Amino acid sequence: MKTLEGQSILVTGGSGSFGNAFVRKVLALSPKRVIVYSRGEQLQETMSQTISDHRVRYFIGDVRDRERLEIAMHGVDVVVHAAAMKIVHIAEYNPYECIQTNITGAENICRAAIASGVTRVVGLSTDKAVNPLNLYGATKLAAEKIFVAANNMAAGRCDFSVCRYGNVLGSRGSVVPFFRSIIADGKGVFPITDPRMTRFWMTLDQAVELVISSLGMMHGREIFIPKLPSVRIVDLAKAMEPSYALDIVGIRPGEKLHEVLLTEDEARLSMEAYDRYIVNGGPSNVVDQFRYSSDNNKILTVDEIRKYL
């Protein structure tokens, strides 16, 4: 297992929900320094007031700017690429901006890492990258391909892998903060796109642990996929406020009824470990025609969802 002790680590999108949790967790692993790279100056200012460790550096920059990335990666050993444009309907309305950040940004990360002598890079991906229906998913699929292929360019000097997972409980832009704002306003009604809808479910701590453990075991090319439970969105609404009515508003453009983390075709290239599936991880031991989807999975009950919340 590779360690992060004594390593210089850079996290893009580092002032977001994942970045905050990742930095707090990784500081306990004795790194040399942790660089928060993001374009949100106000978010960085707020973060610096709560995380004031002398090993943490705050660096304003955009993943679209390769030259700035190379400056930020000087002397860096490990990069975690969390920056992305990820709100589905905003990406649909602003496709070129999404492509610039999620695809060109991914290529910039890879080229800058190789040029700067970084040794390990993990990119964060999403279940929406699997058989994508929306632009956000399509750009993250492209980013996954870029990361896997970057191992060819690096020729052993730097390893690139991907962590692909589902919805993160309580992250910015997710449904839980949205439902909480509705409860706070006392509106009495939750808008639900479709009563059949299911989603994979994980906590922010689980997302961070997945990335840290993947950094420890990676050799390059792997796509790490955690084993997660699923939730029905209607059950989530009941868990948060059972007295509220449900208003069925219909699926928005780019949305799916159910999400998939591993298709039958990828399963043939995957190995199953005790807590995850690993695409390109070695000889396949996954059963034929296996499909890892949110509707064909362990579904949390309302009481179990409340425990997560």
Q: Calculate mean pLDDT across residues 173-185.
A: 89
Q: Calculate mean pLDDT across residues 8-17.
A: 97
What are the φ and ψ backbone dihedral angles of 232, each rounded to 5 degrees? -85, 135
Classify residue 44: in a domain, yes or no.
Answer: yes
Q: Calculate mean pLDDT across residues 281-286.
A: 93
Cite the beta strand spans of 48-182 per DSSP E. 56-60, 78-81, 120-126, 159-165, 167-168
Classify residue 264: in a domain, yes or no.
Answer: no
What residue type is assigned to position 253 of the chain? P
Domain of 39, CATH number, reads: 3.40.50.720
Q: How far apart are CA 12 and CA 80, in angstroms?
A: 6
3-class DSSP assignment, residue 122 = strand
Per the structure, the complete domain to which residue 117 belongs is given by 8-166+204-226
CA angle 100, 101, 106 (to 5 degrees): 100
Q: What is the DSSP letter of 197?
A: -
Classify residue 266: in a domain, yes or no.
Answer: no
Specify whether 128 is catalytic. Answer: yes
Lowest mean pLDDT among 55-59, 86-90, 124-128: 86-90
Q: Is the pLDDT of residue 49 over 80?
A: yes
Q: How far apart are CA 126 and CA 207, in angstroms?
A: 11
What residue type is assigned to position 55 of the chain? R
Q: Is the pLDDT of residue 292 over 90?
A: yes
Which residue among the candidates 32, 86, 128, 298 is catalytic per the annotation? 128
Question: What tokens were used for 20?
Answer: 């905050």
State the pLDDT at residue 114: 98
Question: What tokens were used for 71?
Answer: 């400056």
Q: Which residue has the higher pLDDT, 288 or 6?
A: 6
Closest CA to 276 of 204, 208, 214: 214
pLDDT band, very low/low/confident/very high, at 299 (cuts 50, 70, 90): very high
Classify residue 244: in a domain, yes or no.
Answer: no
Classify residue 180: in a domain, yes or no.
Answer: no
Contact between residue 200 and residue 294 where contact means Cβ atoms under 8 Å apart: yes
Q: What is the DSSP letter of 26?
A: H
Domain count, the chain: 1
Q: Is the pLDDT of residue 172 over 80?
A: no
Question: What tokens were used for 298?
Answer: 């362990």
pLDDT band, very low/low/confident/very high, at 253 (cuts 50, 70, 90): confident
Which residues contact residue 15 at a Cβ distance below 8 angstroms, ignoring those fewer than 6 apart? 36, 38, 40, 43, 44, 46, 47, 58
Which residues contact residue 209 at a Cβ distance below 8 angstroms, ignoring those fewer than 6 apart? 25
Classify residue 304: in a domain, yes or no.
Answer: no
Cite the beta strand spans of the chain per DSSP E. 8-12, 33-38, 56-60, 78-81, 120-126, 159-165, 167-168, 189-192, 198-202, 223-226, 230-232, 245-248, 260-262, 270-272, 276-279, 292-293
Q: Calculate mean pLDDT across residues 140-149.
A: 98
Classify residue 113: in a domain, yes or no.
Answer: yes
Q: Is the pLDDT of residue 255 over 90?
A: no
Q: In the chain, what percentage of residues exceed pLDDT 70?
A: 100
Classify residue 276: in a domain, yes or no.
Answer: no
Q: pLDDT of 102-122, one tens digit each?
A: 999 999 999 999 999 999 999
What's the mean per-residue pLDDT of the chain? Answer: 95
Q: How far apart are CA 191 and CA 193, in angstroms?
A: 7
Calculate the dihedral angle through the C-alpha atoms of 98, 99, 101, 107, rounding to the nearest 10 degrees. 160
pLDDT band, very low/low/confident/very high, at 309 (cuts 50, 70, 90): confident
Q: Calculate mean pLDDT across residues 138-162.
A: 97
